[in-house]
Chain A
């Protein structure tokens, strides 16, 4: 018994300060992408990024690229391919939105946090992908998370999640699991994973939901009492990710959460960083996280 106390003393308290303060993410972390409109225009619509994307997450929209974070696996191939370094991955971990369309990143004007009126400390673009000659700092506008007020009120202090792995590879699941450890200690916000759908307010769905998992997923959803929501965690659950297949026959299509259970909250990433997920949960419950 004494040895356990001693070891507890040695191992110290390890719960992260997030969300009270900004998380410490590694410099090479690839977070929210940003496309600089001026630089992109300077490249003359070269479409290098569109061609470089392994999984067609970037499409052409009026001769300009549009990157869908709901399909993006954050591999960084597009940033490497961009000759003007217009497309960068910032270290911003706040990726989630309740609006599926808000996950599409389009070229925008760059605003330096150092300029008059610029806000926040700004975040670096992830290094290691391209020459590290860019000293720019990025401040990106928050993506909309509009919690339905009645839900937020109902769930605000007790939010129970049933995790369903619909053929996820295990990475999203591992980084959801970690939210229960002493490091993130999700329980301090009243959020927990539960064993039964009968006790759950939401499904945290991972994986592309191919044919063999669909019946189990729908059964689980049907077993939950209302009000209930689906939270799509990771590119696979949002869109099918790398396994996306929308061509017929319909039973064989793979596009993440099936139409019978449409997600209310989308958390991009492959897998999303635990801070991304925790930030999403908290803002969904109308609890502020730091800017």
Chain B
């Protein structure tokens, strides 16, 4: 399944394969993880793959999690730093292996799989009558993005059109999620360089955005909002009015809080030129979302693949240096654009119900079909693909979280950096472990 962003097209192709095929990774680096997963799940060997290691360690008979040959640099003065799986902060688990010369990182290898819960396997044979709560936990901070993608799939396969009003409320939830995460991460970046004012303000503001989601549906993470055909909760004019006021106030406070960074040379000096991901590398690794846009790649599924009933995004925010500073600035720009988008949605909500009428058909899926959904979450493009068998059950359900593409980008950005800058680089990407491990 390939996407042509410029033309807004999806291209589907298939082939018969036996137990092996010549690896495509040497020519197309972006495929390296896909080939590894196919090998791990189905034992289909990509011959000549330069980096054939386990990804999620999901085979009880295979190597234990983290047991693999890490890339190693020899030399009298080279030392190795191993971090994780449990990290120092309140954060998910994964293992990082640094090859260092003094303070300088020569190479970083990231080994994940600790969070493998087997979500895709649980979905096969479905749809479960209540698939959505499970999808909402694929990556807990991207609840809206994943639930949106799953609903889009179910609607596509059951030929149901979502309610336009519900679709706009979904888009609102998606933008609130973006605002919460971008604001929180800018605060965390400020915290990592020891600039406490922005860190404290943004920590509070992140909660304000989450509380707006809670006003909408009772959950700070939009749990329970998405149902196939639309949303479980509607917005009356009074609530829309209250939310609009809150969006305006919070956006103003975000501007005030983040402006302090731009006006503090000591902070900017710590962000500029650190963790550079050049555009050519981002493109060849298939990086998506804010890290791709900060490196100058104008990729945004909201523009290239707009969802039903929603207008295409008018302008994609991009930057060009691809360092931590650009990733911070880009997320600030996106947050402000997103706040404006929220206000527009709240102003012009389509009339009608928030759920589609023909609800009962929604889990009767077309047999022998394939469906694809692309949703631009705050972290980047979320892709769900489902394949149905002759009874209309899922023969396969595959989820690609943006983190799946982007971890390799983070590993690259660390090269030739001080190891002490790892937290800063990591925060500027803020990738999901469980979204990768599923």
Question: Which residues of A approach B to under 8 Å, CB–CB?
Answer: 3-4, 7-8, 10-11, 14, 25-26, 28-30, 54-55, 73-77, 126, 128-129, 163-178, 180-183, 193, 195-196, 207-208, 210-213, 215-216, 220, 242-243, 249, 251-252, 254, 270-271, 273
Contacts and interface: CB of A to CB of B under 8 A. Distances in A.
Nearest to B232: A128
A82 B197 CA distance: 49
Nearest to A28: B218
Given A26-B215, A173-B91, A271 B140 contact: yes
A216 B114 contact: yes
A211 B140 contact: no
A173 B253 CA distance: 25
A208 B140 CA distance: 14
B203 A8 contact: no
Interface of B: 57, 60, 64-65, 85-86, 88-93, 113-118, 122, 128-130, 133-134, 137-141, 143, 184, 197, 200-201, 203-204, 206-207, 210-211, 214-221, 223-224, 232-233, 253, 256-257, 259-260, 263, 432, 434, 437
A29 B141 CA distance: 18
B60 A54 contact: no
Given A74-B224, A75-B130, 15 more contacts: A11-B256, A30-B219, A30-B224, A76-B218, A128-B218, A128-B232, A164-B93, A167-B437, A171-B221, A171-B223, A182-B200, A182-B203, A216-B114, A249-B60, A251-B60
Nearest to B181: A174
B85 A213 contact: yes
B85 A216 contact: yes
A179 to B, nearest CB: 9
A177 B219 CA distance: 17
A11 B221 CA distance: 24
A181 B203 contact: yes
11 contacts: A3-B263, A7-B257, A8-B197, A28-B217, A28-B218, A30-B224, A54-B129, A74-B219, A75-B223, A181-B204, A273-B220
Contacts of B263: 3
Nearest to B213: A26
A40 to B, nearest CB: 22
B130 A170 contact: no
A75 B224 contact: yes
Contacts of B253: 10-11
Contacts of B90: 163, 165, 173, 176-177, 180, 193
B233 A128 contact: yes
B262 to A, nearest CB: 11
A137 to B, nearest CB: 18
A203 to B, nearest CB: 10
Q: Which of B88, B117, B134, B437 has the most chain A CB atoms closer than 10 A to its own CB? A: B117
